[in-house]
Chain A
Amino acid sequence: MAITFHIPGPLRVYCGGLQRVEINSSPATLREAFEALYRECPAVRDRLVTETGQLREHINIFVGTENIRFTGEFTTPLPAGAEISILPAVSGG
């Protein structure tokens, strides 16, 4: 079953222009899902995470409607057919 990534505007250019990227695989964790995404869209990695693998400060990732900062970050287990959304956080300045 495919997992689906919802890609925010600034990153679509690194995903063939797509708003939605589907990958046919059943990763156990969010980290595996993102590794699969990075294989297809390598430029996304450095734009989402820092050198130390931390999610960038003002970016949020949701599995379904749950923010992964509260579910174990990249160790969050994934249900089959998960919908993963990447969104810039509410922030000003």
Chain B
Amino acid sequence: MLGELLGPYRIVSKVGEGGMGVVYRARDEVLERDIAIKVLSSRTVAEKSAREFLLDEARAASALSHPNICTIHQVGEARGELYIVMELIEGEPLSQLIAKGSLPVESVLRYGVQVARALAHSHGRNIVHRDLKSSNVMVTPEGLVKVLDFGLARRLRSDLLDESLGTLDSLGWSGETIVESTGGLTGTLPYMSPEVLRGEEADHRSDIWALGVVLYEAASGQLPFRGRTAFETSSAILRELAPPLPSWIPAGLWAIVQRCLSKEPQQRYQRASEVQAALEAVQSAAVAAGGTSSEARGPLTIVHRGIRHLATKDGDVLLLVGTMKGAFLLRAHAERARWEVAGPYFHGQAIYSLAYDARAGRRRLWASTATFWGTFLRSSDDFGRTWTNPQEANVKFPTDCGVSLKNIWQICPGCPSEPDTMYCGVEPAALFESHDAGETWSLVRGLFNHPHRPRWMPGNGGLALHTIVLDPAKAERMYVAISAGGVYRTEDRGGTWEARNRGIRVEFQPEKYPEFGQCIHKMVLHAARPERLFLQNHAGLYRSDDCGDSWQSISNGVPSDFGFAMLMHPRDPDCVYILPIESGEFRCTPDGRLRVYRTRNSGASWEPLTRGLPQKGAYETVLRDAMTTDSLDPAGVYFGTRSGELFGSIDEGKNWKMILSGLPPVVCVKAVVVGEPRGARRNGSGQDARKSPASTPAKRNARKNKSRRGKG
């Protein structure tokens, strides 16, 4: 078809395809202008009814001439092809604009007024659109609206129109039209009015209903009536009320939408011009009032649209990946063979910390987001579909402190015995606590007022409290690590703190073993041995067997004792993972080899884990929170790099695979097993599974069978 002549029109390119035919961009060689041309497919054109339908469509719409209606220039037939020549509109369908994110109220009103004008014009000529939907509303770059595709429109006799203002009974639904328009019918179900679903005739008030649906959709990003099946959607349209629009939508607009969506046509606006006037009134009020209306608050939640969210089930493994430009969520079944990816959440924002709170029956994700516009803590109870959007910064320094928050480096749910307690570590170095599950936060003054604080020095990444370690056996005791300040311990829930750095060496001060000032990179503890801590220092690996009172070096045979990340095995208290980085100015993996090191004897020796990791030209950096384990058996170990690659092992580090590449720089990675992990993985995997994780299909099946037995 491309390049061919259809009458005086040369087909240039295909624009789209609908139920009835294909739309092309074409050149009118006589008038020398570009137009759109809808050609009925040859398969359809053979059907007489379709042919007549197309002609009806064209005749109806060609009677309309309005700036907000796509103009029909001509109907033609050439070489047996029926075609309609239309105005070519450069722009985007409203549906696409909605999919990109929430439209400002101003735009909703501006577009709504224009659609209402188009309907008022066509209704005045007894033409009902019958298929109004956001994908039939084009918006040009100048903000001009053009309503397309009066595809189901048909002429109503004026006497019927007048009657219909009083009663609907006289208007019978034409069964023929349903058959003819099956292509459009499925797509338009969410816009269909209750009376049409009941089998009654559509009249101009069915268009007003559809306008209500479009306004609702534009204001909230969601359809007012949704269901998993056509039956559920129909049922919602017939019986349910549309959920309220978000709180920041002016009450006036919500009232208009509600009236358009009255179940009974006689309860709606009776004319599109009334909707237009009502929208214009809200529009002028909104501009005149400026921010003076009490509606001018922000949304209390953020809904992430345009992302295919994860459908998470119990037993699934989630990876929460924070990057410099947004968060990503990955999901796999417990076998962890294939990962589904969703994101980026918080597009363009730096995500320094992520956490999961599974206490007290919660399934809550936490994220800290940082942009020019500040740093906020947000949570999601539906695995990322919606997130809280605090009106005021929820973590902030009291004004008397004279400092302001830069970043939130760590979010830490408290002990399981205190399910409403949470902590977060921030830059500039300070600890915040919450005792209402993250609703409100306050500065831990005991640490902030510590006499050492004025002498803590920022490192390359700033002066941050980045690590919080709780003692699971003793809720009063906790540890924090500060770069560069060192390790501090409290025995009284944060009231008083003591530096605990004896034996930890510093390279960057004349005094090599000072009381404080160490640049700690990470510290971990196992619940089964709460008195023992492991620590990755700016340079040096250490262990303490006495709650941090003293530290011994355990840098035994690692290629570099510098590194950021350190990880505790979920079950084995003697097993720790690190990822050595070359110290000094290079700060990449030594020799271009990406190697995880593991000790299984609490630091007496370390072994490299490299199978599946690049061992040539891999100059990578893994940051302090970018390595994690899940709680399954065998444990999954995961890490992300500054170059945006994500690696994982499902056999405790023996074999590795790249899970994802091309991410923005990865800052943090957390693994979560949703709900109670399946007994199968916990109980059913024995030595075989440890030895042959990603092995042959036969072995995998054997494991699976074993798992099934275990589950029973």
Using a CB–CB cutoff of 8 Å, the interface residues on chain A facing chain B are 2, 4-5, 10-24, 37, 40-43, 45-48, 50-54, 56-59, 88-89, 91
Contact = CB atoms under 8 A, between A and B. Distances in A.
B646 to A, nearest CB: 22
B461 to A, nearest CB: 14
B374 A47 contact: yes
Contacts of B399: 51-53
Interface of B: 102-108, 248, 250, 286-293, 295-299, 371-374, 391-393, 396-399, 401-405
Given A41-B296, A43-B391, A50-B405, A17 B106 contact: yes
A79 to B, nearest CB: 18
Contact of A41 (B250, B291, B401): B291
B392 A16 contact: no
B391 A37 contact: no
B396 A46 contact: yes
12 contacts: A2-B290, A13-B102, A16-B291, A16-B293, A16-B296, A17-B105, A17-B106, A24-B290, A41-B298, A42-B391, A46-B393, A46-B396
Contacts, number: 113
Contacts of B295: 16
B106 A18 contact: yes
B374 A18 contact: no
A25 B246 CA distance: 29
A2 B393 CA distance: 29
Contact of A40 (B103, B296, B373, B374): B296
A37 B405 CA distance: 23
A47 B374 CA distance: 6
B290 A21 contact: yes
Contact of A88 (B105, B372, B393, B401): B372
A48 B392 CA distance: 11
A59 to B, nearest CB: 6
B280 to A, nearest CB: 16
A58 B372 contact: yes
B373 A56 contact: yes
B106 A23 contact: no
B502 to A, nearest CB: 35
Nearest to A58: B372
A37 B296 CA distance: 10
Nearest to A36: B291
Contact of A16 (B102, B105, B107): B105
B215 to A, nearest CB: 14
Contacts of A47: 373-374
Contacts of A5: 290-291
B104 A18 contact: yes
B290 A11 contact: no
Given A2-B290, A14-B297, A17-B104, A42 B403 contact: no
A46 to B, nearest CB: 4
Nearest to A23: B290
A18 B298 CA distance: 11
A24 to B, nearest CB: 8
Nearest to B392: A46
B297 A42 contact: yes
Given A19-B104, A46-B392, A59 B248 contact: no
The 8 nearest A-B residue pairs measured at CB: A17-B105, A40-B291, A50-B404, A17-B104, A14-B298, A22-B290, A43-B298, A16-B296
Contacts of B291: 5, 15-16, 18, 21, 23, 37, 40-41
B558 to A, nearest CB: 32
B292 A23 contact: yes
Contacts of B293: 16, 40
A66 to B, nearest CB: 21
B627 to A, nearest CB: 24
A54 B404 contact: yes
A85 to B, nearest CB: 15
Given A19-B106, A41-B296, A46-B392, A56 B374 contact: yes
A37 to B, nearest CB: 6
A40 B102 CA distance: 21
Given A13-B299, A17-B106, A46 B374 contact: yes
B374 A12 contact: no
A52 B106 contact: no
Contacts of A41: 291, 296-298
A5 B399 CA distance: 27
B373 A10 contact: yes
A33 B296 CA distance: 16
B296 A15 contact: yes
A25 B502 CA distance: 62
A69 B563 CA distance: 41
Given A50-B405, A54-B404, A42 B392 contact: yes
Given A17-B104, A46-B393, A51-B393, 17 more contacts: A4-B290, A13-B298, A16-B291, A17-B103, A17-B108, A18-B105, A18-B286, A21-B290, A21-B296, A22-B289, A23-B291, A23-B292, A24-B292, A41-B296, A46-B392, A51-B404, A59-B372
Contacts of A16: 105, 248, 250, 286, 291, 293, 295-296
